[in-house]
Amino acid sequence: MTVQSTEFTPELRQYLRQMGTPEPGILADIRRQTETHRLGKMAIAAEQAALLTWLAKLTGVRRYLEIGVFTGYSSTAMALALPEDEELTCCDINVTFTDQARQHWQAAGVEHKITLHLQPALITMDELIAQGQGGSYDMALIDADKPPTPHYFERALQLVRPSGIIAIDNLLLGGRVVQAAAEKSPESHRILQAFNARLPHDERIETLTLPLGDGLTLVRKK
């Protein structure tokens, strides 16, 4: 064992991917198509999705909530990984992106597992809470616009069960999060700095951030 981290070159990252369970063909197709998208950098990394589906299988996830769908890589991965009785609730506001996601769900044969809500995610989350669905989800993924992240998190914390998992992507802002926010910095810079600072002291949760993609924070609700 060693306390020093290995520098992960592109070649080493590719080697690590080859050591894992092979990426299903449909997911590889989605990833390649999304890489050519003008906003392709928004997509979740393949290794992030692999970790989340692995955790979902390990913890027996049956109900999954996703905030931010984009072209459907993570939702397709989760739907493929879990049993037939799994339910996915997906939230997004972009019809163009989610039309692509629907095509991918159809191609993967998982569309019947997924309920898509095309409206601001906070509205959908508030509706789910009002319907008495608090504590009914096993896992949630927050991978959407960054300024509302603290609000997404608070509602997700109500919706997941005790010992449920909340995963939050892109909390490192490409490394900018450790830099002092300048006057012209995006609003998300200060918001995520404050949010990240609060997480370790929140007694409702246990949290771990992994250096995957742009940072993947895993939260376990106590």
Q: Is residue 185 predicted with pLDDT exceeding 90?
A: no
Amino acid 1: pLDDT: 57
Q: pLDDT tens across 21-70, in order?
A: 999 999 999 999 998 887 777 788 899 999 999 999 999 999 999 999 99
For 175, which DSSP code? Answer: G
Burial status of residue 47 (CB atoms within 10 A of its CB: 0-12, 13-18, 19 or more): middle
Tokens 């609060």 locate to: 198
pLDDT of the residue at 104: 97
Cβ proximity of 197 and 189 under 8 Å = no
Q: How confident is the model at residue 176 (pLDDT cuts 50, 70, 90)?
A: confident
Please state, in angstroms and rounded to a whole number, the distance separating the CA atoms of residues 101 and 30. 9
157 within 8 A of 205, measured Cβ to Cβ? yes
Q: What is the pLDDT of residues 89-115, one digit of tens each?
A: 999 999 999 999 999 999 999 999 999
Tell me how long the chain is. 222
What's 10-221's CATH class? alpha beta
Non-local (6+) Cβ contacts of 166 within 8 A are 139, 140, 141, 142, 153, 156, 157, 160, 205, 218, 219, 221
Question: Mean per-residue pLDDT for 201-215?
Answer: 93
Residue 9 or 139, more confident:
139
111 touches 105 (CB < 8 A)? yes
Tell me the pTM.
0.93
Least confident of 1-10, 42-51, 70-79: 1-10
Please give the DSSP secondary-structure letter assigned to residue 185.
S
Q: The tokens of 77 are what?
A: 């991965």
Beta strand residue intervals within 62-172, DSSP E: 63-67, 87-92, 114-118, 137-142, 160-169
Task: Tell me the mean pLDDT in the region 138-145.
Answer: 96
